[in-house]
Amino acid sequence: MNKARERDKISACITACDEERNIRRCLESVRWADEIVVVDSFSKDRTVAVCREYTDRVYQHEWLGYIGQKNLIKDLARGPWLLFIDADEEVSPELRREIEDEFVSGGNQAFSGYMFPRMVYYLGKWIRHGEWYPDYKLRLFRKDRGTCAGEEPHDRTTVTGEVKRLKGHLCHYTYDDIFDQLKTLNQFSSIAARSMHATGYPFLWRDLLFRPLWRLFKSLVLKRGILDGIRGIIIAYCSAFGVAMKYAKLMELYRATPAPSERRPEAGKKDHQTVDSKAGSR
C-alpha cells in the first residue's frame, strides 16, 4: 500500500477576504494537502471563484475577528491535523518536503504540533533580521489538541503536548507598498486600542512617550533590523509609529468613553508589541 495513504491526513485551512491577487499562489502551495478548506468573508473580487478551482469546500461567513474566524474554520475541517495558512502566505517547497517526510515516516505521532519560521517579502526583498524574522509560527497541529486564542487582532494557536520546529519557511507576501502598510497599522492599532480599553488597561503617558522609542531601538539594534538596510529602517520606524498610534487611540477612547474597569490586567504588563502583525506576528 502507498505509504502516503497511510499517513495522517492534513487539512489546509485558509481564511480570506478580497485576496484575488494572492490566493492562487497560496492554494498552489497546499495542493498536496488531503483537504483544502476556505472561509471567505464575502469578498467583492474573484477570491471565491479562484478558490473553487481548487476545492469545493469554500464557505462564506461574516467576519468574526481573527480568533473567531480561525475557530470557525477549525470546526469545519475534517482532518485530524490542521495547517493554518493565510491567503497572502505560501508553503515553501522545503517546508512541504519536511512536513511530508514527518508524516510519511510517522514521526508526527510523537508531536502535537509543528512550528516553522515565517519569512516576509517586503519592498522587493526577503527580510532576514529584525522583529519580522525568523518569526516562528505554530501553524500545523493536531485538531484535538490545539486551541485558537490570543487577543485581537493577534490570533495564537496553543497545543497540549510536544511541539517540533521545522526549518523550511512559510513565505509571507505582505504589504503591497508603504501606503498599504500604514493602512494596516491604522486598522490594527484601532483594534488593539479597543481591546485594551475593553479590559481596563489604563492610558499612561509613559507608554505613549517611551514604548515607541523602545520598539524602535529593539527592532533596529537588539533584533539587528539595521542589517536589512533601508527596508529594516522603514520597518522599525513604521512599527514604532504603530505603537504610538495604539496608545494615542487608547487615550482618545478614554476621553470619549469610560472603560469598563480601571484594573490593569496581568496581560497588560507586557507591551502589546505585535501591532504590525500582518508581517511580524500573525
| Domain endpoint, select from 141, 173, 205 | 173
Same domain, 105 and 86: yes
| More confident position, 275 or 21 | 21
User: What is the span of the domain harbouring residue 260?
Assistant: 178-280
Position 69 pLDDT exceeds 50: yes
Over residues 250-260, mean pLDDT: 84
What's the full length of the chain, in residues?
Answer: 282
Same domain, 193 and 151: no
Over residues 260-273, mean pLDDT: 46
Same domain, 137 and 185: no
Residues 122, 89: Cα–Cα separation, whole Å: 13
Quote the pLDDT of residue 260.
59
Q: Across all residues in the chain, what is the average pLDDT?
A: 90
Residues 91, 259: Cα–Cα separation, whole Å: 42
Same domain, 139 and 241: no
Residues 263, 66: Cα–Cα separation, whole Å: 25
Quote the pLDDT of residue 103.
97
C-alpha cell read off for 65: 475577528
Quote the pLDDT of residue 246.
97
| More confident position, 273 or 92 | 92
Q: Could you count the other beta carbons within 10 Å of the beta carbon of residue 274?
A: 20
Same domain, 27 and 142: yes
Supply the angle between the helices 178-198 and 229-256 in degrees, to the nearest 10. 40
pLDDT digits (tens, 9 = 90+) for 188-219: 999 999 999 999 999 999 999 999 999 999 99
Over residues 45-64, mean pLDDT: 97
| pTM of the shown model | 0.83
Residues 74, 81: Cα–Cα separation, whole Å: 10
Sequence-distant (6+) residues with CB within 8 A of 146 are 74, 82, 112, 113, 157, 158, 159
Same domain, 145 and 20: yes
The string of DSSP codes covering 70-83 is HHHHHHH--SSEEE
Quote the pLDDT of residue 85.
96
Percentage above 70 pLDDT, the chain: 89
Same domain, 154 and 225: no
Quote the pLDDT of residue 203.
95
